[in-house]
Amino acid sequence: MIIVLFGAPGVGKGTQAAILAEKLHVAHLSTGDAFRAAIRNQSEIGKVAKTYVDAGDLVPDSVVASIVEEAMQDPSFARGAILDGFPRTRAQADALAEMLQRRGLSVHRVVNIDVDDATITERLLSRGRADDTAEIIANRLDVYRQETAPLLEYYSAVDSLLVTVNGVGDVQDVNQRILDTI
Ligand code: B4P
């Protein structure tokens, strides 16, 4: 089962992916977490990713595809994956489709978590990660609108693939709304 958690920065993709992974016994892959780990380890990928992550820009598609391809080799992904923060561009969506096709798999559901910008900004400012300053959050929201949101149209072209869930409210309530769509 391949589930894509989709949405603007701070809508709760990471929060919900962790809960879903546990409940559905499917591994969780967060490209954001993968880049933060690579940056901590000062790997080659980490060195490339750092400038983009620090600025709230998207890491180049080829780098993203290689980190996902490598991660998905892990046997823990044999049952599928909860993809959190990937794909974020049309090129990444194409890379994912190609990667899954090679394994005889396809995306089961794309769950678009919907939260208004004011709530997102409030959540991220109170989390306070290095890329959670007002200026970088504003850039991440712009990047989302320009580069990632157009994927909603791409996924809505496939019957019953894309669902939108209200991401405002108690974390467990949001999780139940997501489970109801899967
Ligand atoms: P990510 O790590 O994906 O971060 P995110 O979009 O900010 O967070 P998410 O939506 O997962 O929110 P979370 O659950 O943490 O990306 C960081 C950077 O990595 C990007 O800017 C980019 O540079 C790079 N990157 C990652 N993937 C990439 C890709 N595919 N291509 C290119 N670049 C990529 O929740 C946020 C906060 O809200 C938390 O504090 C949480 O506790 C709180 N929260 C969650 N749900 C809540 C609720 N219901 N109520 C109240 N608070 C809630």
Helix (H) or strand (E) segment spanning residue 138: helix 134-143
In testing the pocket of ligand 1, which one of 123, 126, 144, 147 has its CB within 8 Å of the most ligand atoms?
A: 123
- Is 53 inside any structural domain? yes
User: Are the C-beta atoms of 6 and 113 separated by less than 8 Å?
Assistant: yes
Tell me the CATH number at 35: 3.40.50.300
166 φ, ψ to 5°? Answer: -70, 120
What is the number of the ligand 1 atom nearest to the C-alpha of 140? 21
Nearest alpha carbon, ligand 1 atom 1: 32
- Is 157 inside any structural domain? yes
Cα(63)–Cα(123) distance, rounded to whole angstroms? 28
- Is 121 inside any structural domain? yes
What pLDDT score was predicted for residue 18? 97
What pLDDT score was predicted for residue 78? 84
What pLDDT score was predicted for residue 159? 87
Number of domains in the chain: 1
- Ligand 1 centroid vs 161 CA: distance in angstroms? 22
- Is 76 inside any structural domain? yes
- Is 96 inside any structural domain? yes
**Ligand 1 pocket list (CB less than 6 A):** 9-15, 30-32, 35, 52-53, 56-59, 64, 84-86, 88, 92, 123-124, 127, 131, 140, 169, 171, 174
Whole-model pTM: value is 0.95
> Kindly report the CA angle at 135 between 7 and 172, in degrees rounded to 5?
35
> In terms of residue numbers, what domain contains 62?
2-171
- Is 167 inside any structural domain? yes
- Is 67 inside any structural domain? yes
User: Are the C-beta atoms of 158 and 108 separated by less than 8 Å?
Assistant: no
What pLDDT score was predicted for residue 15? 97
Could you read off the pLDDT tens digit of each residue along the chain, which spans 182 residues?
999 999 999 999 999 999 999 999 999 999 999 999 999 999 999 999 999 999 999 999 999 999 999 999 999 988 899 999 999 999 999 999 999 998 889 999 999 999 999 999 999 999 999 999 999 999 999 999 999 999 999 999 998 899 999 999 999 999 999 999 99
Cα(168)–Cα(165) distance, rounded to whole angstroms? 9
Side chain identity, residue 166: N
What Rg value do the Cα atoms of the chain yield, rounded? Answer: 15
- Is 87 inside any structural domain? yes
